[in-house]
Every structure is written in structure tokens, then in C-alpha cells.
Chains A and B, each alone.
Chain A
Amino acid sequence: MSTLPVSNTHAVDIVDNTVEMPGTRAPLVLNLETFAEVTTTVCRVAESRRAPMAWYVAFGLSLSLLGFLGFCVSYLIFTGVGVWGLNNPVMWAFDITNFVFWVGIGHAGTLISAILFLFRQKWRTGINRFAEAMTIFAVICAGLFPGIHVGRVWFAYWLFPIPNQMDMWPQFRSPLLWDVFAVSTYFTVSLVFWYTGMVPDLATLRDRAKGKLQQFAYGLFAIGWRGSNRHWHRYERAYLILAALSTPLVLSVHSVVSFDFATSQLPGWHTTIFPPYFVAGAIFSGFAMVLTLAVPARELFGLKDLITLRHLDNMNKVILATGCMVGYAYAMEFFVAWYSGAAFEKFAFVNRAFGQYWWAYWIMVSCNVITPQLFWFKKMRTSIPMMFILSIVVNVGMWFERFVIIVTSLANDFLPSSWDQFTPTWVDIGTMLGAFGLFFTLFLLFCRFLPMIAMAEVKAIMPAADPHQKKDHAHAHAHAHDHGHGHGGAH
């Protein structure tokens, strides 16, 4: 296979770790045999004086888009929400589409770091750090939209129960308020989870730092971590508890987002399938975004030995599985609309597929249900160009899914006399693109200055980490290890 990672220093050792060998565990770290090699490979990115040229190009582009976002948002705030293409029945469109899209993307990080942790999926260690980073940046992008779509943004603090001179409080029976709590809790907990996981790796960077500024900055954020086992003991407990807390949390967040729609009485929104359907879609889109970022990042920063083809293959399997769940949900929505016998409900779904937004619906179906079926084939799951293209296709499809759900239901509700059509303005489109600028700017900064891979966790799953292995640790090797009694190490 041409896409296998081949390291220059160990050209002999080519392993296809996507092959399942009965009785053995496939190696999750290729070519790097010692802990020091892992450290060097990961730290090299943050320690090199110049980033790869592609990084500067991407950063310049993202920063320009971020600047444009600033312009669009200022224009919106100074002028009013009328600069968007919203109208009377379609009061939510690009704003909430973008919100749901970004929150959804934010789900993969916590799924990888928490749920896969509880299931003891060791391959998560290669990708969890930047998936968590991606989560945080996606939730920042998501948080922007509800904040600015309220119209008078200077009253956005009314969302929170802050005592005030008017004796007014938020309305706690509203799903929109649940959303405030769900998303802000999710953001806080994800940030804490990400940072806690990063402390040992920041300590590694601190201990290797040459410059005064690096020593100070990494030293400050590493808060004096020195790898004490008495610390590790509490740390691992805390990490396990955080994972156990984040698992229901991640499922609750998109469920609550779906309540924004499901608890209303609008045809097309008022359905009980929404919470699981939204969660599956969120994981689907999140994994696609992880792939979109992982594929170029591992090429650019030389991380192919740590983010191996097996990791990518596994992610593609998750995309396939969740894509099928999403496809099932689409079909089930149609079935229930027909089975309910409600005229409005039936109309809403026929209108989605064949009404004024038919194109958006069919983009959604082809991107989310049809093309991911290619991942049934291992050749597709292990082809780098193919998975990169498909991950972008899924991102596009999932954006359209939210657009279809939100706009088609609002544009054609109960009374034909109140129907209207939504057309985005340049500010709508600019804000949407600008959010990508915000996301990629943050992500590129993260790649450049922070440990992109959880070094401590990767080391713990290497065969050499096992204290019960044979004494010839000098040859501690992916294959030399006795996998029979394999508990390669704690997480």
C-alpha cells in the first residue's frame, strides 16, 4: 500500500497495522520504539523555529476570514439583524444552522476522549488531544451565533440567571434556556478535560524548552507537574471521573439542542426521534471534521507514526456507522410522517424532498447517506485522498442537514398565506465563512504551540511501558512484545 507511513530512520520496519491478526493486538505506534522518540516527534512541531510553509499560508487565509467575520459581526451589531436574510416565517436560518453545525462538530472530541476511554479503546490516544482541541474551538464558533442572533447583543447576559434591578429571571421551562446551560457546561467541562490531559505534556515541553519565553510560558501552564506517581494516582482517578461525567454530558448536549426544535409544534420539528438522531449526526460530523484536520496535520507535521492508518481506518468505520444511523433517521422521519396520518406532517416531509428546497435535501441525502457507503470497502477506508474528500463531503452534507431541518420547516408551516422563502445575504454567507476562519485560526495556533498528541497517553500504551515485559527493553518492539498477557499499561 502506497500510503503506509514509512519513517526515514527505520525504513526496514514497514507494518500494515490495519490488518487484523488473531491473537495479537495491532501496534498503535509505528517505527518509534523508545519513549524519547515519541517525545521528539511530537515536540518537534512546537519547538521548530519555523512552521512548514503550508502552515503560514493556511494561517494567513484563516486570519483573513477571521477578520471578515469581525467585520460581518460588527456590521450586524451596528445595523441590526435585518442585514441577514431572515423574514417573518423564517426567523432562524443561517445563524442557527451554523450553531447546530458547530455544536455537532464539537461532539467528536469528547466522544473520543471520554466514551472511547471508558470502552478502553487504546487507539484514541493518538487522536484525542487534537480532537478535544477541535471540540473547544467548534464550541466557541457555535457560541458565537446564539450570542449575535438575539438582536440586541448587549442584553445577551439576560440568558444567565444574574440578579438584576428588574427582578427578572430566565424562563427555566424553555429548551432555549436549557441550551444555554448545556452548551456552557459542555464548553467548560471540555476545556477542563482538555487542559487536565495536557498538563503532563506541557511539563514535557517545559523541561525541553530552550528559550526564556518558552520556559516561562510552558512552565506557567504546566503548573509544576513533575510526574509524581502520587499525583498520577489522583490524576488518573480524576480523569476517569471526568470521562464518566462527560459521557452523559456529550449525549445530553445535542439532545438539548434537538429539544429546541422537538418541543415546538412545527411540522418537521415536532418529533421524538430528534435527540438520538441529532447525537448520531453530531458524532458523524465531528468525526468527519477530525479526519479533515488529521489527514493534513499528520502529513505536514510528520506524525504518521502516531496517527497511523489504523486510526484513520477506525474513524472511517465510525463515520460509516453513524452515517447509517443518520440515514435510518431520515427514513424513519418519513415513515412516521406517513404513519402519523397528520396532514401537515406529511406535507412537511414531501415538501422537504420535492418543495422549493429540494436541492438542499438531496445534497444532504447524497452527502450523508449515499457517499459514506463507500467506506464499506477497506480500500476506501485506507485511501488517504478518498477519506479526505469524503470527510469534506460529510461536513457539507451535515451543514445542509441542519439547513433543511430549520429552513424548510419554517418556510412552509401551517398557513400557505404566511409562507415565504429564505435567501441568504452576503452577511449571512460572510458570517458562515468567517466562523471557519475563527475555527482554523485557533486550530492552527494550537498545532503550532501546544502538544498536538497526548504524549504521556501514547507512551503508556506502548509495549515498552509494560513493567512485566521481558528485560530486553532495548529491543522493546511492537512485535517482540508478548501480546498474550497484554495489558500494555494504564491509561
Chain B
Amino acid sequence: MSSVTQETSTARRPVYGLIAEFDNTGDLMRAAEKVRDAGYIWWDCCTPFPVHGLDKAMGVKRTILPVLVFGAGATGTAAAFALQTFTNSFSFSTWALVKVTGYPYLISGKPMMSLPAFIPVIFEVTVLFSALSCVGLMFLFNGLPRLYHPLLQNNRFRRATNDRFFVVIEARDPKFLRGTTEAFLRTLGASAVEAVED
């Protein structure tokens, strides 16, 4: 089962970590549970699609992204309200990168502070702020964009975006010992275990 295709004795370059390849989600899930229980910290599963239940098997903590997005949305609401009331309801000047002055418009006898008429723009700006911050923070927290990564140099790993499932244990993990970790990964039923150069 375990076909190990790595240079065995002394690696010329430092090792980034070990990858174990699985060909179905069930095996990956069981392996993930064991790696989690073995107490590794710097490890991951790489899959071509989000696998249902893997978060729990890996013990991934719930992200705080939604809370931050709510904050960004609320900022959008406030910003849109401020923008509209400042530009259309008041005539004072202030400094926002450049000097800007409000220009109160009297439109068909509506009050200067006509909140109902400001709601559509408030809504749109709220959505805009939330959506952009949602995607921006998601990629930021994921450490992306990152155009170089040791894993992406590995030929076997190319199938992680196609049809194979990988468990990756990084060398920086305190429990990482090249030989022991490799032997441990082989017990998990991986179809291949391989070292990845840094």
C-alpha cells in the first residue's frame, strides 16, 4: 500500500513536511481524526472540495469572520448615512482628504434630513462594505494571495485540486520527527507518503 518515493537518508534541502495521499473522503476523515488525536498542531488536510464533517474531524475552530463582516457592514451603514446627510442636508465644510463642503438641496419640499429617501443607498453601501470585507478578510486570514508555496512544487500534490485527498504535517510542528511521523502516517491507510522540500 505505502509506496514511499522520497530520498531516504539525508535530504539536500530542508523538509517542509510530509504528505499522505488518500483516494477517498472516508479514509481521509478517519486519518484526520487520528492526526488530531495524536496532538499535532501544524497540520492540514488538502482536498479538491470542502469535505462535509472534516472541520470537526480536524478540530478546526469556528472562524470569527462573520462578526468582523457584521462590523464592516455597520461601518458601511454609518458611512452611507454620513455621506448623504453631509452632502445633501448641511452646508458646513470639513476635511476628508480634501476640503469638502455640504450642499443642502431642497427637493420637492422634502425635509433636508429625508431619511426614507436615503435608505436605498444606505442598504447598497452596507452590502458593498460587507461583501468586500468578507472576501478580503477571508483571503487575508487564509494567507492568500501567496504565489509560492512548497506544496505547490510537489508533483504528487497537484492532484489535491483534482481527485486526491492529502494530510499534510509540517516540519515545524513540535511533535514532528521525520521517521516517527512518517511511520505514523503510513498506519493511517494512505496510498502514498512523501516528503516535501521546503
Residues of A within 8 A of B (CB): 34-36, 39, 161, 163, 167-175, 177-178, 181-182, 185, 188-189, 192-193, 196, 200, 203-204, 206-208, 219-220, 223-238, 241-242, 245-246, 248-249, 252, 256, 259, 455-457, 459-460, 464-469, 471, 473, 476, 487, 489-491
Contacts of A192 in B (CB 8 A): 131-132, 135
Contacts of A178 in B (CB 8 A): 120-121, 124
* Bound Cα distance from A466 to B124, whole angstroms: 38
A465 touches B49 (CB 8 A): yes
Q: Which of B129-166 contact A (CB under 8 A)?
A: 130-132, 134-135, 137-139, 141-142, 144-149, 151-152, 157-163
Please tell me which one of the listed residues B52, B83, B142, B151 contacts residue A465 in the complex, with CB atoms under 8 A apart. Answer: B52
Cross-chain pairs A/B with CB under 8 angstroms, 19 sampled:
A161-B83, A163-B99, A173-B118, A178-B124, A200-B161, A204-B162, A224-B148, A227-B46, A228-B44, A229-B46, A229-B60, A230-B142, A232-B51, A234-B141, A234-B142, A248-B123, A467-B28, A473-B23, A489-B51
Q: How many of chain B's residues have a CB under 8 angstroms from any CB in A?
A: 75
Q: Which of B42-62 contact A (CB under 8 A)?
A: 44-55, 58, 60
Contacts of A167 in B (CB 8 A): 100-101, 103
Contacts of B38 in A (CB 8 A): none
B162 touches A224 (CB 8 A): no
Assess whether B12 is interfacial by the CB under 8 Å rule.
no
* Bound Cα distance from A226 to B25, whole angstroms: 17
Q: Which of B71-110 contact A (CB under 8 A)?
A: 83-84, 87-88, 96-103, 105, 107, 110
CB distance from A188 to the nearest CB of B (A): 6
Contacts of B102 in A (CB 8 A): 169
Assess whether B127 is interfacial by the CB under 8 Å rule.
yes
A171 touches B107 (CB 8 A): yes
* Bound Cα distance from A223 to B110, whole angstroms: 49
* Bound Cα distance from A242 to B96, whole angstroms: 30
Please tell me which one of the listed residues B55, B84, B110, B135 contacts residue A238 in the complex, with CB atoms under 8 A apart. Answer: B135
Residues of B within 8 A of A (CB): 23-26, 28-29, 44-55, 58, 60, 63, 65-66, 69, 83-84, 87-88, 96-103, 105, 107, 110, 114, 117-118, 120-121, 123-125, 127-128, 130-132, 134-135, 137-139, 141-142, 144-149, 151-152, 157-163, 168
* Bound Cα distance from A192 to B135, whole angstroms: 7
Contacts of B138 in A (CB 8 A): 196, 234-235, 237-238
* Bound Cα distance from A177 to B49, whole angstroms: 41
Contacts of A227 in B (CB 8 A): 46-48, 160-161
Known: A169-B103, A171-B107. 14 other contacts (CB 8 A): A36-B162, A181-B121, A181-B124, A207-B158, A224-B145, A224-B149, A228-B168, A233-B55, A241-B130, A241-B134, A245-B130, A460-B50, A467-B29, A490-B51
* Bound Cα distance from A47 to B66, whole angstroms: 37
